[in-house]
């Protein structure tokens, strides 16, 4: 357990000292959401109607583009090789990296979501739904993302390949994530499906990603 906490702590500390990365991601997220009105016009009714979808797509893109950083630094400086002989199995290492990556890439988007809510004329109830859906759905994106990052870690130019591989696999998250927003209270099947997908992905993906990391080392 202390080893898992050590990885999470190290990744958070590194991100805090380097600073820029999480901020750039948030900036990208807000910008994607903010350019949509330029494309479809500043009609507040239309924007409010599209807002949940826009926020999800912005989060989707930000998280997919941030994937490459999951294992890249550890691969480049040799840490990943050493982590394979750590006292905890590689699957647990991946799970810890997953948690750290989620804290660094998904949580800031949730924190920044009020900005988009204002820009896209979202009402407060919809915004609360959106935050809940993002909190529940983004772990699945990060979990599937570990697989994408792991299979491309040995490629020097794997940057765009991971999002292309992972995007189709993430479509259920998008479908249920958007549908969970604004559904009537108490009968929200989409929200339950979204939770189920997240739980299963978080439980399953570290194993697939660890296997991919082992193969990548060969």
The residues binding another protein (CB under 8 A) are 2-3, 6-7, 10, 13-14, 17-18, 76-79, 81-88, 144, 147, 151-152, 154-155, 157-158, 161, 164-165, 167-169, 171-172, 175-176, 179, 193, 197, 204, 208, 211-212, 215-218
Closest distance to another protein from the beta carbon of 56 (Å): 13
* Ramachandran region, residue 183 (left: φ > 0; alpha: ψ -120 to 50; beta: rest): beta
Closest distance to another protein from the beta carbon of 139 (Å): 16
Nearer to another protein, 43 or 77 (CB): 77
Closest distance to another protein from the beta carbon of 154 (Å): 7
Residue that the structure tokens 């991946």 belong to:
94
For helices 107-119 and 90-105, angle between their N-to-C axes, nearest 10 degrees: 30
Nearer to another protein, 17 or 124 (CB): 17
Q: Is 157 helix (H, G, I), strand (E, B) or coil?
A: coil
C-alpha pair distances (Å), 9 with each of 22, 89, 100, 180: 16, 18, 8, 32
Looking from the CA of 81 toward its CB, the CA atoms found within 13 Å total 7
- How far apart are alpha carbons 156 and 76 in whole angstroms? 10
Nearer to another protein, 10 or 72 (CB): 10
Nearer to another protein, 40 or 204 (CB): 204
Closest distance to another protein from the beta carbon of 217 (Å): 5
């Amino acid at each position: 357990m202390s080893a898992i906490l050590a990885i999470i702590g190290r990744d958070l500390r590194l991100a805090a000292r380097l600073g820029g990365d999480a901020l750039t991601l948030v900036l990208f997220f807000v910008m994607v959401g903010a350019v949509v009105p330029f494309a479809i016009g500043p009609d507040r009714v239309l924007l409010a109607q599209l807002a949940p979808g826009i926020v999800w797509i912005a989060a989707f893109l930000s998280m997919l583009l941030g994937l490459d950083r999951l294992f890249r630094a550890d691969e480049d400086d040799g840490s990943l090789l050493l982590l394979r002989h750590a006292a905890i199995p590689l699957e647990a290492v991946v799970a810890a990296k997953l948690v750290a990556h989620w804290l660094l890439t998904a949580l800031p988007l949730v924190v920044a979501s009020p900005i988009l809510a204002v820009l896209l004329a979202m009402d407060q109830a919809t915004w609360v739904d959106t935050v809940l859906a993002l909190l529940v759905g983004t772990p699945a994106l990060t979990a599937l993302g570990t697989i994408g990052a792991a299979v491309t870690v040995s490629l020097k130019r794997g940057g765009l390949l991971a999002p292309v591989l992972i995007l189709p696999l993430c479509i259920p998250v998008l479908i249920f994530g958007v549908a969970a927003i604004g559904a009537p209270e108490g009968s929200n099947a989409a929200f339950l499906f979204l939770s189920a997908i997240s739980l299963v992905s978080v439980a399953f993906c570290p194993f697939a990603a660890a296997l991919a990391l082992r193969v990548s080392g060969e």
